[in-house]
Amino acid sequence: MNKDLDLIRTVKELNRTVYEINLTLMQKYESQIDNEITSKQAVLLEILHKHNILTVSELADLMKVTSSAVSQIISKLDKKNYVRREINPNNRREIMVLLGEEGFRYFEARDRIDQTIIEKYYSQLDFEDVLHMKNTFKNLKSIIEKDLNQKEN
């Protein structure tokens, strides 16, 4: 029983610490990233950055929202040149979405911030500790994904 309480306390402290680290870093570096991006727009940009080019329906599936909702997000991002739309030459009824000029700038800024954070903070840790953290979080992610996939089936 005591071990369970220790686990609960430790995980809560870990979660709180990670949250506070992210909040502190976000507040310090937010001026270097476009503040006009909403969280849903940021999620869409993240997905596009990972996949390079997707259809509206593929984006909707990955975001777990309707195509209509994704289209509204795309329209707003398109007006600001974060994304661009192209007609699929193989299926002219299908719209392909790609990062636009501002989208590339957004990720370049994020990469510069990541580099600064790594050089300023992570470099002060032992590499083995960083490697252990990475492996632990990847393992936790795998456990969560496995559980979620079982519940979907």
- Check whether residue 40 and residue 10 sit in a common domain: no
- Check whether residue 55 and residue 89 sit in a common domain: yes
Q: pLDDT-derived band of residue 2, with 50, 70 and 90 as boundaries?
A: confident
- Check whether residue 44 and residue 25 sit in a common domain: no
In a domain, 108, yes or no: no
80: number of Cβ within 10 Å? 16
Q: What is the mean pLDDT of the chain?
A: 92
- Please indicate whether residue 100 or residue 30 has the higher confidence score (pLDDT): 100
The total of structural domains in the chain comes to: 2
Are the C-beta atoms of 19 and 11 separated by less than 8 Å? Answer: no
- Check whether residue 24 and residue 43 sit in a common domain: no
DSSP calls for 32-78:
GS-TT--HHHHHHHHHHHHHSEEEHHHHHHHHTS-HHHHHHHHHHHH
In a domain, 152, yes or no: no
Q: How far apart are CA 143 and CA 55, in angstroms?
A: 30
User: What pTM was computed for the model?
Assistant: 0.80
Are the C-beta atoms of 100 and 81 separated by less than 8 Å? Answer: yes
Q: What percent of the chain has pLDDT over 90?
A: 79
State the pLDDT at residue 13.
96
In a domain, 51, yes or no: yes
**Is it the case that residue 33 has pLDDT exceeding 80?**
no
Structural domain boundaries enclosing 28? 1-32
In a domain, 97, yes or no: yes
Average pLDDT over residues 33-58: 91
- Check whether residue 48 and residue 93 sit in a common domain: yes
Looking at residue 96, which CATH number applies to its domain? 1.10.10.10
**Is it the case that residue 34 has pLDDT exceeding 80?**
no
In a domain, 19, yes or no: yes
- Check whether residue 41 and residue 94 sit in a common domain: yes
- Check whether residue 81 and residue 49 sit in a common domain: yes
In a domain, 93, yes or no: yes
Per-residue pLDDT reduced to its tens digit, 65-116: 999 999 999 999 999 999 999 998 888 888 999 999 999 999 999 999 999 9
- Check whether residue 53 and residue 85 sit in a common domain: yes
